[in-house]
């Protein structure tokens, strides 16, 4: 395996750089241009609740805070073995990692998409990577992932020395379907779910944050309210060592049988399921 640079920013002697734009920053650009110039746009993640995967409740941190049902999160610990994890990371590190915003690096296996103009083209997309075939087959054995057919895989590499993070956001729902599936590799982390408008039914009038603990080698699925109502993020302070994740996305109804773009969807599904892909 190629060696990770000491600052977590490069491999094989590449030049340290970042891809931050606008208000987004990482530790690399903050050091380069001075912290006074940049202010991180993420506030410290104060979690009011912690998700309990056994009960499906968001549990209050103190006795005075009532717990409440938190639907739309499925967590499967030890989804892959240590040997499979090592094989996946070795395979990923053979390919180039591209710089992404907020100190992340990424590898994309999917179509070219302009979400603003709602345009999709196959482009250089040649399928999901070979090693993902057995993972997808295993995912489909989970009751919550029956019929899951991903057409995109995005690998993201986080490192504390780059200040890696991803801001609170909702994933697109025009192209991407109901379920977002992520495999968490190399280290434990916390997925922060947030609702800016508060949660009156739980007696919370201000922003609510729920910590979803993601153990190393676990799988997490977001759907329903957790997919469409609650934003999700990974905060800088929750990255303690190198963390790699693979997120798989399926098509929305627009691109499936009977949808307006069924023909394109069929082509994307056929290409993805070849499992002969290289990063686009």
Average pLDDT over residues 146-156: 98
Single out the residue of 34, 8, 38, 45 nearest to residue 21, CA to CA.
Answer: 38
Q: What domains are defined for the chain? A: 27-272 (2.60.120.590)
Q: State residue 92's pLDDT score.
A: 98
pLDDT digits (tens, 9 = 90+) for 68-115: 999 999 999 999 999 999 999 999 999 999 999 999 999 999 999 999
* Predicted model pTM: 0.90
Q: What are phi and psi of 5, to 5 degrees?
A: -65, 155
Q: Which of 124-128, 183-187, 204-208, 241-245 has the lowest mean pLDDT?
A: 204-208
Least confident segment among 23-37, 115-129, 203-217: 23-37
C-alpha 251/C-alpha 265 separation (Å) is 7
Count of H helices and E strands in the chain?
5, 16
Confidence check: pLDDT of 8 > 60: no
Residue 34: which pLDDT band, with cuts at 50, 70 and 90? low
**Per-residue pLDDT, 66:** 85
pLDDT of 244 > 60? The answer is yes
Residue-level pLDDT at 42: 47
> In this structure, what are the phi and psi dihedrals at residue 160, rounded to the nearest 5 degrees?
-65, -30
| Of 149-163, 182-196, 198-212, 253-267, minimum mean pLDDT range | 198-212
Partner residues linked to 247 by β-bridges: 154, 182
pLDDT at 12 over 60: no
Read off the tokens for 249. 């996305």
Cα–Cα dist 208/87, whole Å: 38
**Residue 22 in this model has a pLDDT that exceeds 50:** yes
**What pLDDT does residue 203 have?**
74
Angle at 253 between CA 220 and CA 265, to 5 degrees: 95
Residue 189 corresponds to which tokens in the numbers above? 């982390």
Residues in a beta bridge with 280: none
What is the percent of the chain with per-residue pLDDT over 70, rounded to a whole number? 89
With a pLDDT cut of 90, the percent of the chain lying above it is: 75
Q: Is the pLDDT of residue 17 over 50?
A: yes
Average pLDDT, integer, range 150-154: 98
């Amino acid at each position: 395996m190629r060696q990770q640079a000491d600052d977590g920013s490069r491999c094989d002697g590449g030049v340290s750089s970042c891809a931050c734009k606008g208000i987004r920053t990482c530790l690399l650009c903050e050091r380069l241009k001075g912290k006074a110039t940049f202010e991180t746009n993420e506030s410290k993640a104060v979690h009011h609740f912690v998700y309990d995967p056994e009960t499906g409740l968001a549990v209050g941190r103190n006795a005075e805070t009532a717990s409440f049902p938190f639907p739309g999160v499925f967590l499967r610990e030890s989804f892959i073995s240590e040997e499979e994890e090592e094989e996946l990371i070795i395979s990923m590190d053979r390919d180039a990692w591209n710089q992404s915003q907020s100190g992340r690096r990424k590898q994309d296996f999917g179509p070219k998409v302009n979400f603003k103009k709602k345009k999709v083209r196959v482009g250089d997309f040649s399928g999901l990577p070979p090693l993902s075939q057995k993972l997808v087959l295993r995912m489909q054995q989970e009751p919550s992932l029956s019929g899951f057919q991903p057409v995109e895989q995005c690998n993201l590499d986080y490192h504390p020395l780059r200040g890696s993070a991803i801001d609170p956001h909702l994933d697109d729902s025009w192209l991407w379907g109901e379920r977002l599936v992520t495999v968490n590799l190399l280290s434990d982390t916390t997925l922060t779910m947030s609702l800016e408008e508060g949660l009156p039914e739980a007696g919370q009038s201000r922003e609510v944050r729920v910590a979803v603990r993601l153990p190393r080698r676990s799988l997490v699925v977001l759907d329903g309210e957790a997919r469409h109502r609650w934003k999700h993020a990974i905060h800088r302070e929750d990255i303690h060592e190198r963390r790699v994740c693979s997120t798989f996305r399926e098509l929305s109804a627009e691109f499936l049988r009977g949808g307006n773009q069924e023909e394109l969807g069929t082509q994307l599904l056929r290409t993805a399921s070849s499992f002969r892909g290289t990063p686009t």
